[in-house]
């Protein structure tokens, strides 16, 4: 992998990740852009104890542009985009309309391919490995920023999820705090560790799932399963079999196998609802240990956390979506219409 860092016309950083070491990236952003100004602010909810990002400048962000005006396609002639070069393998750049900025963290866009009509599932294994390497590199770089405590790599796919740009891409949020969902996991880790005399909760969960009927697919280094208490109609958790706290901890065996396992998982998601259905909308979310102090979680260290990816769709059946209504949105109590065992069975049925 070759990494080339440059700057866009408004000062934002852009990084090319190339498969070939001899690739030259010297194109200049020719757009007449002024420096970006954001109003991102983090406010703490005193009752729930969580944080809310107030980012009014995002109201003006690009919204469903026609394909020939996509800002994530490479620049072609006089059609200028966020990517100055006329081609690319993988590109990461600072979001022009970030939810987090400055002392409030950082937001980046990850373009998986220059092909506007592709998807992550259509990438080659070599391309998917390059995306993994880019995620890993960004996790490392962002973790060293003084304002960053947790790095979250994710992909929103599909208009039903709320995606406003059709080009295959994901995002990276670098938070200045430990996110509420991760804090819940850390508290459960601490409670379980104390109650069992030191047993790791992630290890216990993974051992139980490996012995149960909800395994979707399994390799030498990775295992994918529908969790016992799945929140979503079709939800799969992908774990490396060797516990590591973040993407940086993966060894070469796990890195090499990941593209094969993950691409198969995504392709199965697209086949869940049968032929003729539109692509399955999903969220794919990497969970990594925070880089900040864990003193508030008694006895828990970063190495106790288990890196994993959670993949889920809001489509519950053909033509119907799972909406977060009263119980889910009002009380955070999920009601799942699809038994996890049946979801796992279906995901096994649609294997390549």
| Mean pLDDT of all residues in 106-134 | 98
pTM over 0.75: yes
Q: What is the pLDDT of residue 59?
A: 66
| Catalytic sites, residue numbers | 169
Largest CA distance in the chain: 65
Q: How confident is residue 275, by pLDDT bands cut at 50, 70 and 90?
A: confident
Q: How confident is residue 64, by pLDDT bands cut at 50, 70 and 90?
A: confident
| Mean pLDDT of all residues in 304-333 | 96
Nearest to 236 by CA among 224, 228, 220: 224
Tens of pLDDT, residues 201-214? 999 999 999 999 99
Q: What is the pLDDT of residue 50?
A: 94
Mean pLDDT, the chain, rounded, equals 95
Sign, Cα dihedral of 131, 171, 163, 288: positive
Residue 61 has pLDDT above 80, yes or no: no
Between strands 169-175 and 215-218, the pairing is unpaired
Contact 89, 74 (CB under 8 A): no
Q: How confident is residue 57, by pLDDT bands cut at 50, 70 and 90?
A: confident
Q: Which two tokens stand for residue 17?
A: 């990740």
| Mean pLDDT of all residues in 136-145 | 98
| CA 280 remoteness from chain centre | 16
Contact 154, 247 (CB under 8 A): no
DSSP secondary structure, 175-190, as one string: ESS--HHHHHHHHHHH
Q: What is the pLDDT of residue 277?
A: 85
Q: Residue 106 half-sphere exposure, CB side, CA atoms within 13 Å? A: 20
| Mean pLDDT of all residues in 294-319 | 95
Q: Which residues are annotated as a binding site?
A: 70, 73, 116, 167
Residue 18 has pLDDT above 90, yes or no: yes
| Mean pLDDT of all residues in 293-317 | 94
Contact 311, 347 (CB under 8 A): no
Q: What is the pLDDT of residue 60?
A: 64
Q: What is the pLDDT of residue 352?
A: 80
Distance CA 73, CA 87 (A): 8
Q: Which residues are annotated as a binding site for Zn(2+)?
A: 70, 73, 116, 167
Distance CA 336, CA 347 (A): 17
Q: What is the pLDDT of residue 38?
A: 76
Q: Which two tokens stand for residue 90?
A: 């993988």
Length of the chain: 352
Residue 325: Cβ within 10 Å count: 9
Q: Which two tokens stand for residue 216?
A: 């979707």
Q: What is the pLDDT of residue 209?
A: 95
Contact 283, 315 (CB under 8 A): no
Q: What is the pLDDT of residue 217?
A: 97
Residue 86 has pLDDT above 70, yes or no: yes
37-51, 223-237, 316-330, 331-345: which range is least confident on average?
37-51
Q: How confident is residue 1, by pLDDT bands cut at 50, 70 and 90?
A: very high
Contact 94, 12 (CB under 8 A): yes
Distance CA 312, CA 70 (A): 26
Q: What is the pLDDT of residue 56?
A: 78
């Amino acid at each position: 992998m070759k990494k080339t860092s440059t700057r866009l016309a408004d000062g934002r950083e852009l990084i090319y990740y190339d498969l070939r070491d001899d690739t030259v990236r010297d194109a200049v952003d020719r757009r007449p852009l002024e420096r970006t100004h954001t109003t991102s602010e983090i406010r703490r909810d005193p009752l729930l104890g969580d944080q809310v990002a107030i980012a009014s400048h995002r109201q003006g962000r690009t919204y469903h542009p026609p394909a020939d005006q996509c800002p994530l396609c490479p620049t072609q002639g006089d059609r200028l985009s966020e990517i100055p070069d006329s081609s690319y393998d993988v590109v990461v750049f600072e979001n022009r309309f970030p939810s987090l900025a400055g002392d409030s963290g950082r937001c980046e866009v990850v373009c998986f391919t220059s092909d506007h009509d592709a998807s992550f599932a259509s990438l080659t294994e070599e391309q998917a490995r390059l995306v993994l390497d880019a995620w890993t590199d960004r996790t490392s770089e962002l973790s060293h920023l003084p304002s960053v405590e947790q790095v979250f790599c994710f992909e929103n796919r599909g208009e039903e999820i709320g995606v406003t740009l059709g080009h295959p891409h994901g995002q990276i949020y670098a938070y200045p705090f430990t996110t509420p969902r991760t804090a819940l996991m850390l508290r459960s880790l601490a409670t379980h560790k104390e109650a069992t005399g030191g047993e790791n909760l992630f290890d216990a969960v993974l051992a139980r799932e490996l012995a149960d009927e909800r395994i979707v697919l399994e390799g030498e280094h990775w295992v994918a399963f529908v969790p016992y208490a799945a929140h979503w109609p079709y939800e799969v958790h992908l774990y490396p079999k060797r516990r590591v706290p973040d993407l940086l901890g993966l060894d070469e065996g796990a890195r090499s196998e990941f593209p094969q396992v993950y691409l198969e998982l995504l392709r199965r998601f697209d086949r869940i609802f049968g032929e003729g259905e539109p692509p399955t909308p999903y969220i794919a979310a990497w969970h990594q240990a925070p880089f900040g102090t864990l003193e508030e979680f008694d006895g828990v260290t970063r190495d106790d956390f288990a890196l994993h990816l959670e993949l889920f769709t809001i489509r519950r059946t053909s033509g119907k979506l799972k909406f977060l209504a009263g119980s889910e949105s009002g009380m955070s109590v999920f009601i799942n219409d699809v038994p996890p065992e049946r979801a796992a069975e279906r995901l096994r049925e649609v294997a390549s």
